[in-house]
């Protein structure tokens, strides 16, 4: 009888602990995110001046380093509730430019790109982040690309400029967040850029950010976030009118299989 009672009490206790953890996390995470963002904005001018003097980097690269460092700080602040893990990053050569493509699950996916060992990355994103007062000036200074507001020629030119300066470019090929965690239709823009510029494409797979902040929810939840890099794919063999389609299909299949493995699901 005692054993049965203890077994019945266990789910109740676990539920109470879970609710308490969620409450504590949100009492911490939202205020600290606001404070960290304000601190980053206030300290940026000092970091910018010092960085220009020490590293001699151009303004856009230095801004991208500051944004990457902001993401690294966010990891530290979230670490009491979120476990961050990165996999297969040794596949990446820090001295080479790449075009990254990554699946999209959450607003926090962009923060998690600081898990990459490379800071000099131009993000190609939709227009709405450029309308956020506290981010847009930094995005413009970092020469981020607006895939909705900019024309194709400007996106290609901006990407080639980043590659020429030994930087990389990152696209979210789905265009917007997945509501069910599954890969959605891929757009071709990033694949066309990689082929036109002759740059290797690196698929990235992220999991867990949809658990951190589930779609339609306002409360964050403790979780584990994993970012995995896949083998760089040379784009020289994808010429012709259907080259971007073949590359897009290959990358999507690789990402689907890798995500299934990361989630313990059956591969496609």
Tens of pLDDT, residues 217-256: 889 999 999 999 999 999 999 988 899 999 999 999 999 9
| Structure token digits, residue 225 | 């976030």
Instruction: List b or e across 94-131, with b for residues whose CB sees 16 or more CB atoms inside 10 angstroms.
Output: eeebbbbbbbbbbebbbbbbbbbebbbbbbbbeeeebe
Residue 128: DSSP 8-state: G
Q: Within the chain, how many helices (H) and strands (E) appear? A: 8, 7
Closest CA to 30 of 77, 84, 72, 68: 77
pLDDT at residue number 7: 47
Alpha helices in 118-201 (DSSP H): 133-141, 152-164, 189-197
d(CA 163, CA 235): 14
Measured from the Cβ of residue 137, the count of other Cβ atoms closer than 10 Å reads: 14
pLDDT at 217 (0 to 100)? 83
Angstrom distances, CA of residue 111 to CA of 73, 78, 106, 115: 10, 11, 10, 8
Residues 216/205, Cβ–Cβ less than 8 Å: no
The pLDDT score that the predictor gives to residue 9 is: 47
Hey, what long-range contacts does 108-113 have (CB within 8 A, 24 or more apart)?
108/209, 108/212, 108/213, 109/172, 109/177, 109/206, 109/209, 110/71, 111/71, 111/74, 112/71, 112/84, 112/206, 112/209, 112/225, 112/227, 113/68, 113/71, 113/170, 113/227
230, 240 contact by CB (below 8 A) = no
Strand partners, 171: 101, 124
Helix ranges restricted to H, 55-151: 59-78, 109-112, 133-141
C-alpha distances out from residue 138 to 7, 35, 37, 143, Å: 54, 17, 12, 9
Cα dihedral value 47, 69, 214, 256, nearest 10: 140
The position carrying tokens 């953890």 is 21
* Residue ranges in the chain modelled with pLDDT below 70: 1-17, 266-268
What pLDDT does 70 receive? 95
Report which DSSP code applies to 105. -
Query: What are the CA-CA distances from residue 124 to residues 60, 110, 143, 267 (Å)?
Result: 14, 11, 9, 29
Q: How many CB atoms lie within 10 A of CB 34?
A: 11
């Amino acid at each position: 009888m005692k054993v049965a009672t203890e077994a019945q009490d266990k789910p109740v206790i676990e539920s109470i602990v879970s609710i308490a953890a969620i409450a504590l996390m949100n009492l911490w995470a939202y205020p600290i995110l606001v404070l960290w963002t304000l601190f980053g904005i206030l300290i940026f001018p000092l970091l910018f001046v010092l960085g220009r003097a020490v590293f001699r980097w151009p303004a856009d690269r230095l801004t991208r380093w500051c944004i990457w460092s902001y993401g690294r700080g966010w990891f530290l602040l979230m670490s009491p509730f979120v476990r961050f893990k990165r996999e297969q990053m040794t596949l990446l050569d820090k001295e080479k430019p790449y075009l990254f493509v990554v699946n999209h699950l959450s607003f926090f996916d962009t923060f998690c790109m600081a898990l990459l060992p490379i800071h000099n990355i131009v993000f190609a994103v939709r227009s709405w982040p450029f309308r956020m007062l506290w981010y847009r000036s930094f995005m413009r200074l970092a020469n981020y690309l607006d895939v909705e507001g900019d024309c194709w020629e400007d996106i290609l030119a901006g990407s080639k400029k980043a590659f020429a300066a030994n930087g990389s470019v990152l696209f979210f090929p789905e265009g917007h967040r997945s509501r069910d965690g599954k890969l959605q239709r891929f757009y071709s823009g990033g694949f066309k850029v990689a082929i036109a510029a002759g740059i290797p494409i690196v698929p990235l797979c992220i999991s867990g950010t949809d658990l951190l902040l589930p779609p339609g929810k306002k409360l964050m939840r403790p979780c584990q976030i994993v970012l995995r890099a896949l083998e760089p794919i040379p784009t020289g063999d994808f010429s012709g009118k259907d080259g971007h389609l073949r590359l897009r299909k290959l990358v999507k299949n690789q990402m689907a299989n890798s995500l299934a493995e990361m989630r313990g699901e059956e591969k496609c």
